[in-house]
Structure 1
Amino acid sequence: MHNHLALAATALLAGTATAQNMLRFACGQLVVERTDPIVNPGQRYTPHLHQIVGGNSFNISMEDGHDPVSKSTCTSCSFVQDLSNYWTASMFFHGKNGSYKRVPQQGNGGPQGALVHLNGGMDIYYIPSGKMTAFRPGFRMIAGDAAETSETKVNKVSICHRCWDRPDENTFVGGAPCSGSDTVGIPKETKCQKIRQTIVFPTCWDGKNLDSPDHKSHVAYGTSRSAGGGGSCSDAKFPVKLPQIMYEVMWDTSSFVKDTANWPTAHAPYVYSMNQGGSAAHGDYVFGWKDDSLQKAMDKNCNLNKACPAAGLTTQTPEQYSACTKKQQAPEPVDGWIAAMPVGSPLRLA
């Protein structure tokens, strides 16, 4: 990636005006459940809870060849043409009394405009960098590691958290993602009204495999891991440049910091649904853009969450994409106070 483009992308993500374009859009909550068709295909009640967005053909197995475009009848993302699926672990508040409560998510604001979430979900970015090749049907990958609890083994440039000390997410805090005071681990301070989680995916592909046994070996990070497009693909084993995908989850922790009587002192206040401590942040992706709409969106410099006729991109209202939901395929309560983290057999409320 040329230096001026890298600087432009960084500036835009930091909140300054620039000509660098990127897709940045909201995806409402499709379902929150213990399924994972990439890591645990066919398994109901997987080891930990996920919050999932995108096309409603998401299911327990999603066998090789599963086509979200032909099988989905709606998408919880604002672009109608995006039937992909995106998911991350859920975050819980672990109270002083030992009980847990799932932390709600909301849309992000910032200089590029507010992204609306009526029922939770997350925000998705596709960040361009020079000439790129869009993902092919059947492509899937993961970023991060659900089992990694050592923060020193996680690259802060591509997986991080930011303490948002303002009650309004539209008041921008800090600079570019995963810079400055951002941390690998989940912030623990009571000043954090919100916690923003960022996950940046690899941008270089081997050009052959749509997946790999560990769901990572067919892709690699480029010369830059930061959220500016990924740099160039210098490794000959991974010559194909992909659009850079970035997840942003805005966890609304405001109600928990107000509950001073239940604020823990003997353990961390927030933990991901793996319940292992540490960072362990990770994201899963299954490609599902209709036809060549993503390739055109990158080639035609489509921007933010706006309709882009040049690429055939159309948008839905928040009410429309938030209405695309589905019932849990692994039914159990995931909201309200619970006595234990959902693991093992189906959770029952006490």
Structure 2
Amino acid sequence: MQWATLAAAALFAQNVAAQGNMLRFACSQLVTERTDPLVNPGMKYTPHLHQIVGGNAFNVTMDPTKDMFAESTCTSCSFKEDTSNYWTAVMFFKHKNGSYHRVPQVGNGGPQGKLFNKGGLDVYYIPSGKVTAFKKGFRMLAGSATNTVDSKVTKANICHRCWTSPSESKFVGGAPCSGTDTVAIPSDPTCKMIRQTIIFPTCWDGKNLDSPNHQDHVAYGQGSGATGGGACPSTHPVKLPQIMYELMWNVTDYSDKSMWPSTGSPFVYSMGIGGAAAHGDYLFGWKDNSLQLAMDNNCNLNADCAKAGLHKQADATYSACTKNQQAVEDTEGWLKEMPMGDKLIKA
């Protein structure tokens, strides 16, 4: 079994290498709050809670005409030149007594080495041949926050993995969204962690920086999984770097089934529903043409890259980049109810 795991990890690394080098870096948590400038611009106390990483210029409106690198004074991501914002829903544990507790996040291991973050997530930019970097003002959404049907989700793009190792540094399984990975959030007391993977479309219409549903201007190519994406359709002919999020939810403290509800999954996202509703939001914010240069010059993993002018920050530096909540409420500890609707009042 150990040899099979190592072989699968090596195969993933080889597949990525065949596409060219990739960026893989950590982003610590900037803020957790109920805002969403992509889907609910200008609104505080949006329908569900998000955990946001990236540049500290993040706000409830996010004017697409502004240069986010110039607006930011720091970023919670490893590369100093990346002030993009990345966010996802928050996972909660539902106790049988009806209360909720936010599931903590940890850094991620893997065949390319451990990444250090304080909460947050890990980001990949995977090229496949010549790619065109995102433009200023570009934004997109992967997944649907209202979906409740697993079969409507392509498992190769959005999935969950039961991580049976007590350490995130010990790689478990094969390539992302393969093997026994599921769309649903695993409900198994042997899971020490649950890894969530969100893979974004890699094909762009070449014209629109956004669309009304934040999805129609992009499309998935013919490829499957984290390979950089396959051939693009004629409607979306421009090949983009493949963005992938990886999150490690530490569920070790919730393995006692006597705490679990009698029916349904003990783990839900902040919309109050399961893995089929997993989604990720992306707002571009790299400095000048640094991302294009990184893709053109095969900048690799989480390291300085002189040809693109990329500078890797110390984990203590990017983890210190935080932002006060704009929608102020205490979402930590045991909650009487999910942070939805009106401002949360704790029991």
TM-score, normalised on structure 2?
0.95
Match in the other structure for 2:286: 289
**2:153 matched to which residue of 1?**
154
Cross-structure match for 2:43: 43
Give the partner amino acid of 1:321: Y
Indicate how the Cα distance of structure 1 residues 344 and 53 shifts in structure 2: closer, same or farther if over 3 A, else same: same
**In 1: Cα distance, 2:155 partner to 2:244 partner:** 14
Instruction: Report if the CA contact (8 A) 1:30-1:54 is conserved.
Output: yes
Query: Which residue in the other structure is 1:322 paired with?
Result: 319
Paired residues, number: 340
- Deviation per CA, 1:209-266, whole angstroms, max 9, x where unpaired? 0000000000000111311000121x21111100000000111111111x44423332
8 A contact 1:12–1:20 mirrored in 2: no
Tell me the CA shift for residue 10 of structure 1: 8.3
Amino acid at match of 1:151: D
1:95-132 residue CA offsets vs partner (Å, 9 max, x unmatched)? 11110000111110111010001x20000000010010
2:80 alignment partner, SS class: coil
Q: Which amino acid aligns with 1:241?
A: K
CA distance in 2, matches of 1:189, 1:13: 28
The alignment partner of 1:30 has SS state of: strand
The answer for the alignment partner of 2:235 in structure 1 is 237
The answer to whether the Cα contact below 8 Å between 2:16 and 2:22 also exists between their aligned partners in 1 is no
Structure 2 counterpart of 1:248: 246
User: How much does 1:267 deviate?
Assistant: 2.7
Letter in 2 for 1:154: V
Give the superposition deviation at 1:51: 0.4
State the alpha-carbon separation in 2 of the partners of residues 21 and 15 from structure 1. Answer: 10
Check conservation: 1:16, 1:111, Cα contact below 8 A.
no
Q: CA deviation at 1:20?
A: 4.1
Task: Give me the whole-angstrom Cα distance separating, in 2, the residues matched to 1:18 and 1:110.
Answer: 18
Distance 1:156 1:19, change over 3 A: closer
Unaligned residue ranges in structure 2 (runs of 5+): 1-7
The reply on whether 1:270 has 2:267 as its aligned counterpart is yes
- Contact map agreement 2:16 2:228 (CA 8 A) in 1: no
Counterpart in the other structure of 1:349: 346
Residue 298 (structure 2) pairs with residue 301 (structure 1): yes
Give the Cα–Cα distance (whole angstroms) in 2 for the partners of residues 308 and 64 of structure 1.
Answer: 27
Supply the distance in 1 between the matched residues of 2:207 and 2:189 (Cα, whole angstroms): 47
2:116 is aligned with 1:116: yes
Q: How much is the aligned-residue C-alpha RMSD, in angstroms? A: 1.8
**Quick check: 2:195–2:248 contact (8 Å CA) kept in 1?**
yes
CA contact (8 A) 2:9 2:171 kept: no
What SS does the corresponding residue of 2:276 show, helix, strand or coil? Answer: coil
- Counterpart AA for 1:272: Y
Q: Distance in 2 between matches of 1:19 and 1:277?
A: 33
Which residue in 2 is equivalent to 1:5? Answer: none
Aligned-pair identity in percent equals: 63
- CA deviation after TM superposition for structure 1 residue 268, in Å: 1.1
Secondary structure of the corresponding residue to residue 279 of structure 1? helix
1:1-350 correspondence to structure 2 within 5 Å: 11-13=11-13, 20-117=20-117, 119-233=118-232, 235-257=233-255, 259-350=256-347
Task: Tell me, yes or no, if the aligned pair for 2:20 and 2:128 is still in contact at 8 Å.
Answer: no
Where does structure 1 lack aligned partners over 5 or more consecutive residues?
1-7
Which residue number corresponds to residue 3 of structure 1? none
- Report SS of the residue matched to 2:318: helix
**In the alignment, is the contact (CA less than 8 A) between 1:14 and 1:176 conserved in 2?**
no
Using a 3 Å threshold, how does the CA distance of structure 1 residues 148 and 156 change in structure 2: closer, same or farther? Answer: same
Which residue pairs with 2:3 in the alignment? none
Amino acid aligned to 2:291: L
